[in-house]
Amino acid sequence: MEAQELPCVLIDCIGGKHGVYEDHAEFLKERFCLITMKEYLENKNFLGKKIRAIYMWYHKPVINEELLQSLPNLKIVASSGVGIDHLDLSLLSSYGVKVSNTPFIVSTDTADLGMALMLASSRRLVEGHQMAISPDTEYFPADWLGAEVSGATLGIIGMGTIGYKVAERAKAFEMKILYHNRKQRNKEEERAVGATYCKKIDDLLQQADFVMLVVNLTPQTHKLIGKRELQLMKPTAILINISRGLVVDQDALVEALQNKVIKAAALDVTYPEPLPRDHLLLKLKNVIITPHIGSATVKTRHLMKENMTESIQAGLAGLPIPNEVLL
Tell me the average pLDDT across 217-246: 97
Sheet hosting strand 98-100, strand order edge to edge: 33-36, 8-11, 51-56, 76-79, 98-100
Phi, psi for 212 (deg, rounded to 5): -115, 125
Tell me the average pLDDT across 51-67: 96
Q: 45 Cβ partners below 8 Å, 6+ apart?
A: none
The pLDDT value given to residue 2? 45
Which tens digits make up the pLDDT trace of 130-157? Answer: 999 999 999 999 999 999 999 999 999 9
Which tens digits make up the pLDDT trace of 236-270? Answer: 999 999 999 999 999 999 999 999 999 999 999 99
Which residue in the list 26, 174, 189, 273 is annotated as catalytic?
273
Is 273 noted as a catalytic residue in this protein? yes
Which residue in the list 24, 180, 292, 301 is annotated as catalytic?
292
The span from the CA of 252 to the CA of 258, in Å, is 10
Which residue in the list 244, 255, 277, 302 is annotated as catalytic?
244
pLDDT at residue 3 greater than cutoff 80: no
At residue 156's C-alpha, the angle toward residues 150 and 160, to 5°, is 125
Is 244 noted as a catalytic residue in this protein? yes
pTM score: 0.93
Tell me the average pLDDT across 270-290: 97
pLDDT at residue 97 greater than cutoff 90: yes
The pLDDT value given to residue 1? 38
